[in-house]
Structure 1
Amino acid sequence: MPAPSSSTWDRRSVLRAAAGLAALGPLAACGGDTGREGGGGSGKSLVQYFHAYGEAGTQEAIKRYAKAYDEARVTTQWITGTNFESKLFSALLTDDAPDVFEFHPQLQLIRSGQVAPLDDIIDPVKADFNPADIASHTVDGKVYGVRMIDDPQFFYYRKSLLEKAGLGVPRSLDELAEAAAALTTDKVKGLFIGNSMVSTNHALVWAAGADQLDDRNRIAYHTDDVAAALKVYRRMFTSGHLLLDAPADYWDPSALVQGLTAIQWCGMWAMPVMQKALGDDLGIFPFPPAAPGAKPAVYNGGWSMFVNAKGEDVDLAKDYVKWLWIDQKEYQEDWALGYGFHIPPRTSIAESATELKSGLPAEAVKLFTDYGRFDNISWTQAMITAFEEVVANAVRKGTDPEKALDAADEKVGRELEKLFA
């Protein structure tokens, strides 16, 4: 479920704005009333924040679920435009902060006491969640956030175009660069990884055999192989084989569907639209290895529901999250499969999802199972932005990758000091 076409931000992507809980101004124009007055037969009320999903019917679905909750009137703030993170973090500093909100697991929210632990509502069903989803939301033995959907990202490609060029599926980053060159014509670019070129940042590091941080929360992305991978990106950028000015960003399937590119990085959410447009001409593959001995990489995006620990009625907010995202399996299945394809984080729901049992969806599930990697809860907004600057400098501007990585090290190091000193 991507963001609308006017936004460069995506609900699963790593394109997250640099935002801090203590450095933002008032929330700008989110639309709708706050829902603080009255509510439901009980007279109680809650406010939930969602970013504006791109697929038709998503806003109506969220409001329909909320309306069925009997214990309070639940008002949805459907936040349009860019920088959802900035708007959310800004709102959390005000008296009109949401009671519950969707976001990604991030340690600074826990360290600041902004989000409540949810072990009491998750423990009875913890075994039914993907263990990686539980682990990625756990700090000091406590679970923060309930995963709503898992969203693997990978490369989509036009089979006919690769066949016409005499190419197989790329098995390395160098082969991907070669394919981009061979597939580029005066009308079609060989590869699209997003207009800002940062959508593959996580996967690029993993495919180079590295990680954002190691198991002791030290910098792990600064390696010779990551620097070499950035040089390959630079070569593709300067060669003219990348699509860089698509009408919509990577999260939207239109670049591949409209024939602007032969290969596109995108998420599983777009698969039904692509299949409808391209049929059997559509294939997928993971981000290929970028270093000897490294494995392919599939970035698992996705969103989780959090409870504002500083809200007016934390117990009621937790009850709502439990009711919707733990008890109401019908709604959870609808959210995962009714508006694009996503993998349900609940094993019991995933096992019954017939839409994902065969064909290309089943291939996507296998890629997710074999190569899926999850967000590191210690990799914060500022760190994400620091590595985006590496791509901007090393790939777009031609800065030596080592210098670009050194600059990121300083910024990431300062953030790690704040979190773990």
Structure 2
Amino acid sequence: MSAMSSSNWDRRSVLRAAAGLAALGPLAACGGNNGRGGGSGSGTNLVQYFHAYGEAGTEQAIKRYAKAYTKADVSTQWITGSNFENKLFPALLTKQAPDVFEFHPQIQLIKSGQVADLTDIIDPVKDDFNPADIKSHTVDGKIYGIRMIDDPQFFYYRKSMLAKAGVSVPTTLDELIEAAAKLTTSKVKGLFLGNDLTAIINPFVWAAGADFLDDSNKPAYHTDAVVAGMKQLRKLFTSGHLLLDAPADFWDPSALDQGLTAIQWGGMWSMPVMQKALGDDLGIFPFPKVGSAGKLSVYNGGWSVFVNAKGSNVDAAKEYVKWLWIEQKKYQEDWATSYGFHIPPRASIATSATKLKSGLPAEGVKLFNEYGHFDNIGWTQAMITAVQDAFANSVRKDGDPGAALDTADTKVNRELKKLFG
């Protein structure tokens, strides 16, 4: 879940711009370069799609791994800007579809037969993976993707700025709002939650003691605590203490690094760049409790690799994915720790990842383990969009939060009925 360059697209918010795979039928197919080219391998050509990670060296790394594979020629489409989902999903409906692609676990990919069952290649090492990463990719006992990286998100802060303003690290939303006010000066805004605030919706709901779906796949986000918290966010949004026009979005460390804000929501992937810029003046904390029954929370995002079940090289693609993301532990550790910081989903790699063993990275791992929540495979893009709309209408536009969530409920229940009956 590293940051993207040259775009303020929130890449953790899956397919925000699209209405999900089900709605993509009428979209035009991708034209131009499909990445399929003659290589020097066995004669089988495989194409993999990756979004453009912002960390320097990532594109070269993923291409270097692919070049080391001898059983097929693997070419990479490195898709920049906000085009990833706009290219991936239409492409999946054509003969130019990638054989392998990265994305996030969403059940409609499985229900539509789009992604291959990878249980046979994961089973032998299943116990080495974080159980939550296995659960979030499993439907009816079958595993449909391999987690490559886990990406916790939390607040970063400038210790010196908090000390100067006499502000303690916030543990409640009330304290966070107070801190934002005390930290705001003529040149610095107290708090940055991302340019459109969607990045904090997941941890906010969990911090209110709620969830998106319960164990029966029923909506669980529309609670009194969430509604009250949304009203608090509206006050914060209009307070003048929030940075609302940063040059880059939350995934980029520049707002904090350049002194535009004292506290910034961000991902662990930004930590090496932030540490280089700020040294020991950098601290982190989880999303604070929302309401009296609230709980500290951390969003554990991340990226996974999938095999296109409708492609013409399914077996060859599975063999490549097995080679790279199951067998090549050296590459897996390199991918997780040599560019930005990500937590390796496999225990055997996480235990040897020395860069994450001490200091602030170790603190990030601790927050991940203590307060982390993972994606729910049943929470699809249409549902994500419905709740994002509710937040936009009530936090950014001053609509009634209860009414906005009522509208979301109708959309979410309609999607749940389609998926689960």
After superposition, the C-alpha distances for 1:336-391 in whole angstroms (9 at most, x for unaligned) are 00111000001001000111111101100000000010001011011111111111
What residue in structure 2 maps to residue 244 of structure 1?
A: 244
Counterpart of 2:367, as a letter, is L
1:73-222 to 2 correspondences below 5 Å: 73-222=73-222
| 1:167–1:22 Cα change, 3 Å | closer
After superposition, the C-alpha distances for 1:133-160 in whole angstroms (9 at most, x for unaligned) are 1111111001110000000000000011
Unaligned runs of 5+ in 1: none
The whole-number CA distance in structure 2 between the counterparts of 1:260 and 1:391 is: 25
1:344-355 to 2 correspondences below 5 Å: 344-355=344-355
The whole-number CA distance in structure 1 between the counterparts of 2:73 and 2:163 is: 56
The whole-number CA distance in structure 2 between the counterparts of 1:128 and 1:247 is: 40
Aligned-pair identity (%): 72
The whole-number CA distance in structure 2 between the counterparts of 1:22 and 1:106 is: 12
What residue in structure 1 maps to residue 9 of structure 2?
A: 8
The whole-number CA distance in structure 2 between the counterparts of 1:234 and 1:9 is: 21
Cα deviation, residue 33, structure 1? 4.1
Counterpart of 1:43, as a letter, is G
SS in 2 for 1:23: helix
Q: 1:26 aligns with which of 25, 28, 37?
A: 28
Cα deviation, residue 18, structure 1? 2.9
The whole-number CA distance in structure 1 between the counterparts of 2:321 and 2:303 is: 14
SS in 1 for 2:66: helix
State the TM-score, normalized to the length of structure 1: 0.97
State the TM-score, normalized to the length of structure 2: 0.97
What residue in structure 1 maps to residue 285 of structure 2?
A: 285
Cα deviation, residue 40, structure 1? 3.5
Counterpart of 1:354, as a letter, is T
Cα deviation, residue 15, structure 1? 6.6
Cα deviation, residue 84, structure 1? 1.9
Is the contact made by 2:29 and 2:93 (CA closer than 8 Å) also made in structure 1?
no
Unaligned runs of 5+ in 2: none
Is the contact made by 2:188 and 2:262 (CA closer than 8 Å) also made in structure 1?
yes
After superposition, the C-alpha distances for 1:76-105 in whole angstroms (9 at most, x for unaligned) are 111112142232111100110110100000
Cα deviation, residue 21, structure 1? 2.7
1:256-335 to 2 correspondences below 5 Å: 256-335=256-335
The whole-number CA distance in structure 2 between the counterparts of 1:343 and 1:414 is: 35
Asked if 1:419 corresponds to 2:414, the answer is no
What residue in structure 2 maps to residue 41 of structure 1?
A: 41
Cα deviation, residue 27, structure 1? 4.2
The whole-number CA distance in structure 2 between the counterparts of 1:61 and 1:297 is: 32
Cα deviation, residue 281, structure 1? 0.6
SS in 1 for 2:59: helix
The whole-number CA distance in structure 2 between the counterparts of 1:190 and 1:14 is: 28
Cα deviation, residue 5, structure 1? 2.7
Asked if 1:357 corresponds to 2:357, the answer is yes
Is the contact made by 1:148 and 1:325 (CA closer than 8 Å) also made in structure 2?
yes
SS in 1 for 2:21: coil
Counterpart of 2:28, as a letter, is P
What residue in structure 2 maps to residue 63 of structure 1?
A: 63
What residue in structure 2 maps to residue 375 of structure 1?
A: 375
After superposition, the C-alpha distances for 1:188-217 in whole angstroms (9 at most, x for unaligned) are 001001001110110010000000011101
The whole-number CA distance in structure 1 between the counterparts of 2:17 and 2:378 is: 16
What residue in structure 1 maps to residue 399 of structure 2?
A: 399
Aligned pair count? 418
SS in 2 for 1:247: coil
Is the contact made by 1:15 and 1:199 (CA closer than 8 Å) also made in structure 2?
no
The whole-number CA distance in structure 1 between the counterparts of 2:54 and 2:13 is: 13
Cα deviation, residue 186, structure 1? 1.1
SS in 2 for 1:116: coil
Counterpart of 1:320, as a letter, is Y
Greater shift, 20-29 or 174-183, is seen at 20-29
Cα deviation, residue 284, structure 1? 0.2
The whole-number CA distance in structure 1 between the counterparts of 2:256 and 2:197 is: 16
Counterpart of 2:233, as a letter, is Y
Runs of 4+ in 1 over 4 A off after TM superposition: none
Is the contact made by 1:190 and 1:263 (CA closer than 8 Å) also made in structure 2?
yes
